[in-house]
Amino acid sequence: MQEITSNRVAFPKPIEVYKPINIYGTNVVTSENEEWKLHRRITAPSFSERNNRLVCQEGMRIASELFALWANHGNDSRVEIEDAVETTAQFALMVIAAAGFGARFSWDDDQKPPPGYTFTFQKALNVVMSNIVFRIAFSDRVLGLWQKGRDVRDGFRDFRHYMLDMIEARKREAPADRRADLLSNLISASDLENSTVEKNSQYSFGNEELIGNVFIFLFAGHETTAHSLAFTLALVAAHQDVQEKLYQSLRDLVPHGEQATYAEIVRWSYGLAVIYEALRLYSPVPTYPKYAAEEYTVVTYSNDGQNTPRTVTISKGARIMIDIAGLHYNPKYWTDPHEFRPERFMGDYNRDAFFSFAAGPRSCMGRRFSEIEALTFLAVLVLNYRFEGTPLHAKETREEINERILRWRMGSLTLCPEKLPLTMVRR
């Protein structure tokens, strides 16, 4: 598998599979070869240390506003959440809006859209993130036949216009005055690229490519982070010993009476181990496609305990699906693979057998963005609340509750908990 993911020439992505998500323009996911190199060169620097700090800062603010909202709606010493999947989805959307575009939202959208728009930016963003499959499947003419379809059509249109307005506003700013959000970083990188690129270059990077890549950051990062964070909460709720260890390991870094800082969160190794173990058990994306551009021979090994070498010839044109779940549950790489054991990520582990962020040249650029986002929410939550699954009735046992909150389904694009009711109790 390492050969397949690292050799981009022999095993490229089947780009035609990704073409439908060119909704706003070509991007780093849907391009290949020289065009991909251009997109990668411009987009990769956007995920900087400065942006990571912004992710943490905004994540703390958004989580704190959520706790204040709970307090305003009643007794915040005990809060029952009907479905934490909705909470993590909204949190992830607000973080990527703030750290991605510099747009701050409230948990309650009570604004009115500006003239010429059907929706506020927050509502348009929600429409886009909730209806990508719908948008891909139907043309504007078909969507115009009923109200839900018209909302999807108008939401995607509004998002494009909002992004164009933002891009033009940022371009008018002096480079030194630009913020640390992804959009500003992208514009700065594209300005630098366009100032040095040859005039007769086959590929360019203009506003359409800017919007295309911003959209792909949303597409690739929102639902995956939201659902992996929801699975993390479900597993931590079902394993109170891990939850207590999370709290104590964080308290070793954060003094009593204080909230965590960015420096402390990036040092929270046990928190990251818990997130990785949740990703191993419930990887949001179960498979990863490749194809063979040429006939290729790989050497693999038997699973009979003898590690006998086996030669396998992959035919030119063969379609390859990397089974992430199969890899993550393979006992050859993971002892007791069905057990929730974060400690396995505290020492040496087979990094080639952990594939939630893909691998090779086309691995996830936003990996650290996602990790910091999840770590921040988990840290702020664990420092302030204990939590467990909410029982459906008085006779439901703790084992039955834990089994229920760990049930899963396929979301619009990724794996997610079926429903995650949680009860929070103030520490």
Is residue 420 within 8 A of residue 84, CB to CB? The reply is yes
pLDDT computed for residue 66 by the predictor: 94
Please state the rounded mean pLDDT for residues 393-422: 92
Measured between alpha carbons, how far is 30 from 322 in angstroms, rounded to an integer?
19
Measured between alpha carbons, how far is 391 from 402 in angstroms, rounded to an integer?
9
Measured between alpha carbons, how far is 78 from 2 in angstroms, rounded to an integer?
48
Q: When comparing pLDDT for 277 and 427, which is higher?
A: 277
pLDDT tier for residue 1 given thresholds of 50, 70 and 90:
confident
- Per-residue pLDDT for 285 more than 80? yes
Gyration radius from the chain CA atoms:
23
- Per-residue pLDDT for 271 more than 90? yes
Q: Of 427, 413, 411, whose CA–CA distance to 83 is shortest? A: 411
Please state the rounded mean pLDDT for residues 145-166: 95
pTM given for the model: 0.92
Please state the rounded mean pLDDT for residues 174-197: 81
Is residue 10 within 8 A of residue 296, CB to CB? The reply is yes
Give the number of other CB atoms < 10 A from CB of residue 309. Answer: 9
pLDDT digits (tens, 9 = 90+) for 256-268: 888 899 999 999 9
Measured between alpha carbons, how far is 94 from 320 in angstroms, rounded to an integer?
36
pLDDT digits (tens, 9 = 90+) for 121-154: 999 999 998 898 889 999 999 999 999 999 999 9
pLDDT computed for residue 260 by the predictor: 93
